[in-house]
A and B are shown apart, each in its own frame.
Chain A
Amino acid sequence: MTGDQLSLILLPTNKCNVACEYCFEDKTADFMTLDQLSSVIDKLLDYMEQQQIRELIIYWQGGEAMLMQPEWFEAAHALISEKAGERGKRIGHSLQSNMIGYSRKWNNVIAEMFGNSVGTSMDFPNLYRRAHGHTTGEYTEQWARNIRLAREAGINIGVISIPNRETLRLGGEAFYSYFVDELDVTDFQVNTSFSGGELNDAKVESILEVKPLSRFFVELADVWFERGYPKGVKLGPIEELLNNFLGKPASLPCIWQQNCADQFVSIDARGHVAQCDCWVTSYPEYRFGNLFGAKSFSELMNSKGRARFVDRPEALIEHETCAGCDYLSLCHGGCPVRAYSITGEFFVKDPYCEVYKALFSRVESLATHLSRARFKRSLPVLQVGSTSSAGASHSS
């Protein structure tokens, strides 16, 4: 880890209550017991002490995390807090759930453990999310109902959405309107799909063509900049990119980190450890090992399995065109799991490279436009035409 923070994507269960056709996880019926969790936390705290890491953030996912009971989370929270307190470490928690199993009984634990926030997912239109034996429409209705209930209870909802072929046909304006105007979502993020695990028709058609996907992102950036940005609507990763180009602190998504291997790790309900949730259930050959069977967490962090991930950005600089790219500082070759799931190769750059470049370029233009507008507003009318923007990156 490069910083004094470790991020863990923890799957307390590999089981899910729905059957989304494009899901990248190969699910199992496994649940983590509190004893197993206790052993995981002990080993993580040992590692943190050894590496002088102060803080651990646990991103609770699944499977579906809400298949564990609220009582299990309460007990887990108490156990983790006690162990962290004894070792002088901080542990924070974040919850990602499909919200299909949400009911009021979750409110206390969401408030106490997760800061009254939940991250969830929905697509527009919903082509693939469904429960067993139900339609996508029924899923969407149930989800919207539960989101409404959660909001009434004061819970902040952040939404992740994955564009599909129909999203691209309908365009950025319709996409934005659905979430912001229709669902009243003010904090959402657009991801692109990972066709991990065993391929099926839905996963194949989830691999979108570069040009229409680029057009969609550029249009969405424009719509958000015009309608959402002035009102404080949060749209990741576009808002973070804008902050970055404006020279403000920005937290970019995992796919664009210098090296995701230095940022986080994932553990599933069977104790398997891998780079992230996209790898841990679906690609056994890419796991770092099993924590339940290992003496220590550092044994797995020093494994050959992890070394491949650590070495990937270096390999991309040597063999790909990344070093010559103006946006290397933002992307670093992109996501390994997308590269692997689409191309079957590991040491290649993300196949959505051109999508990212189109988005970066557009958001950079928006940032320049914003900077110039702010600068001009601060000048007397007669002097506006006499200024120059050369040296801009070091004058702002």
Chain B
Amino acid sequence: MAEHCIYNVPVELLSAYNERHVVVRAKDPAVLAESISQQAGGEIVMLQLLDINKDLEALETCGYGIPLEIVLKYPQCEASKLYRVTKLQRAHPLHIVIPVVAGFSKAVKVASALHLPIKLEGNQPEPDCIEELCSVLDYFLHNKAASQEIEYFSGLLTAQFHKLPVTLWDIQEEDPRLLRYITDEGKEVVARAPFIASEDALDSFRVALMERVLRPGKECASCLFFPECGGYFKWPDQNFSCDGVKCVFTKLRDAAHELQDDLAAMETAR
């Protein structure tokens, strides 16, 4: 175990991580609520609920102030259930994690209408999801209802606008140097779907990935967006074509430039 890391652990293995900073995950809200009293020496930095369909009452009055991430599995079917989670906001800062799969935009729009912060799960989107991903990005950029963050769009826009040296690994809080995922079997893996083992050691995971994807002739080697992406979309499948996701980076870069121009004009006028 690395001293400096946060571990995302299943509630059943929590006792093995007693002295650590942990994200505790479970399907059952009552079990998750119970876990708060179990953590002796370390700190629960976040709760992660994996099933929105269960009765949420147990989480309404426990662990005040501990952030709660609710992970959707089938976003199109589960979108309506988001109305149930709003009452949890009295006790917890909330985040809704939405996988980028067909129909995910419905959940984004409902969560957004309820002013819930969203994190899009950073998988390698299927080609037929790219159009939906771009339309969600347009919604984020241009619809006034999108008042809360939608990661990774918000983080990328901020990074582009302020020219910050951060990548999607940082924005999504999935850098293996800082956060690790403990599988239900107790295996330590990259804290990102599909939660599989990496061929590289986790401490040097990003450097090793970068070395591979930046080899001459590789797509990343000539990609304008590598500084913000950091090879994020080349994992786990390094043959994934980034043609689709580049439209996301392009739109966000253009929006950041427009904002910079507008603000510069305002500044000049003062």
Contact = CB atoms under 8 A, between A and B. Distances in A.
Contact of A386 (B255, B265, B266): B265
A383 B146 contact: no
Interface in B44-84: 61, 79-81, 83-84
B196 interface: no
B40 to A, nearest CB: 27
Contacts of B4: none
B157 A394 contact: yes
A309 to B, nearest CB: 12
A391 interface: yes
Interface stretch (B110-118, B162-170, B174-182): B110-118
Nearest to A395: B259
Given A314-B80, A323-B79, A391-B259, A380 B268 contact: yes
Contact of A323 (B106, B115, B258): B106
Contacts, number: 103
Interface residues on A, range: 35 or more
B187 interface: no
Q: Which residue of A244, A313, A318, A332 has the most chain B CB atoms within 10 A of its CB atom?
A: A313
A3 interface: yes
Interface in B237-267: 254-255, 258-259, 261-263, 265-266
B141 interface: yes
Contact of B87 (A2, A378, A379): A2
B109 interface: yes
A315 interface: yes
Contacts of B269: 378-380, 383
A282 interface: no
The dominant DSSP class at the B interface is: helix
A332 B83 CA distance: 10
Q: Which residue of B61, B112, B115, B262 has the most chain A CB atoms within 10 A of its CB atom?
A: B262
Given A2-B89, A314-B81, A328 B262 contact: no
A3 to B, nearest CB: 7
Contact of B255 (A318, A375, A390): A390
Interface residues of B, number: 37
Contacts of A391: 141-142, 255, 258-259
Interface string A278-314: 0000000000000000000000000000000000011
Contacts of B142: 390-393
A318 B113 CA distance: 15
A160 B80 CA distance: 33
B258 A329 contact: no
A222 B143 CA distance: 22
Q: Which residue of B61, B144, B265 has the most chain A CB atoms within 10 A of its CB atom?
A: B144
Contacts of A328: 109-110, 113, 145
Contact of A387 (B140, B147, B262): B262
Interface in A305-338: 313-315, 317-318, 323-324, 326-330, 332
B61 A52 contact: yes
Nearest to B256: A391
Contacts of B218: none
A387 B144 contact: no
17 contacts: A2-B87, A247-B147, A313-B80, A317-B79, A317-B110, A324-B106, A324-B109, A328-B109, A375-B266, A378-B266, A379-B269, A383-B265, A390-B254, A390-B255, A392-B142, A393-B146, A395-B262
Given A2-B87, A390-B258, A393-B146, 13 more contacts: A4-B90, A244-B144, A314-B80, A314-B81, A314-B84, A327-B145, A329-B147, A378-B266, A379-B268, A380-B268, A383-B268, A391-B259, A395-B258
